[in-house]
Amino acid sequence: MQWHTNLPLIAILRGITPAEARDHVSALLEAGFDAVEIPLNSPEWEKSIGDMVANFGEKALIGAGTVLKPEQVDRLAELGSRLVVTPNTEPAVIRRAVARGMTVCAGCATASEAFAALDAGAQALKIFPSSAFGPGYIKALKAVLPAEVPVFAVGGVTPENLGEWLSVGCIGAGLGSDLYRAGQDVARTARQAAAFVKAYREAVQ
């Protein structure tokens, strides 16, 4: 399995509005990001995701987070979304997204959930909430997972601790409130994005 972006950091723009999305996503791409998820509990997510696919779909992997139902997957496919991120392990959602040609990063916490997600066709796993388990837990979990499966740490990842997650075998991370909080200005998004990119490059060099 391979991850399909140059930078394995997923920007999570929870709570963003359609009016704000373009400027923030533009700032992320300028910093080097090429994977963006807009969670489905954000305002008017259909408009935001559709607009971002139209504006940036050729430059980045644009998609949705907090995807819970197969019907949501179908709507995302209509919008041109290419990424589905789930908070849980729901085989029906994973199978539907894979069938629609999307990249699926499935949320899981245990070995049983991880293998259930892989059996359903998920191409990547997110360990959530990572901060509650710690790097040692992910290192132990990685020992039983197929080596080629991309694993992302999500929850509590900061520029200061990103290297710890990478050192235990995570390919990258999903970045939420330390990158973007609903209502923040674009300048902060740009600063945090640059800090995360710098931390990632320093960790893998």
Over 80: is that where the pLDDT of 82 sits? yes
3-class secondary-structure state, position 197: helix
Cα 86 from chain centroid (whole Å)? 9
Give yes or no: 37 in active site.
yes
Q: Residues 160-176: what's their mean pLDDT?
A: 98
pLDDT > 90: percent of the chain: 98
- Reported as half-sphere exposure (CB side, CA atoms, 13 A), residue 144 has a value of 11
Give yes or no: 126 in active site.
yes
Tokens of 154: 């999500």
Average pLDDT, the chain: 97
Q: What is the pLDDT of residue 156?
A: 97
Q: In the structure, what pLDDT confidence band is assigned to residue 2 with cuts at 50, 70 and 90? A: confident
Q: Say how far apart CA 129 and CA 106 lie, in whole Å.
A: 12
pTM of this structure: 0.97
Q: Residues 1-21: what's their mean pLDDT?
A: 95
- What's the CA angle centered on 20, arms 18 and 25, to 5 degrees? 100
Q: Residues 104-116: what's their mean pLDDT?
A: 98
Annotated catalytic residue within 71, 78, 90, 126: 126
Over 90: is that where the pLDDT of 4 sits? no
Over 80: is that where the pLDDT of 1 sits? no
Q: What is the pLDDT of residue 153?
A: 98
Q: Residues 57-85: what's their mean pLDDT?
A: 98
Q: Say how far apart CA 35 and CA 134 lie, in whole Å.
A: 24
| Domains in the chain, CATH or no CATH each | 9-204 (3.20.20.70)
Tokens of 123: 């191409």
Annotated catalytic residue within 37, 90, 142, 164: 37
Q: What is the pLDDT of residue 115?
A: 98
Q: Residues 150-162: what's their mean pLDDT?
A: 98
Tokens of 51: 């607009």
Over 80: is that where the pLDDT of 113 sits? yes
Residues 6+ apart with CB under 8 A from 143: none
Q: Residues 3-19: what's their mean pLDDT?
A: 97
Q: What is the pLDDT of residue 190?
A: 98
Q: Say how far apart CA 93 and CA 84 lie, in whole Å.
A: 9
- Reported as half-sphere exposure (CB side, CA atoms, 13 A), residue 50 has a value of 7
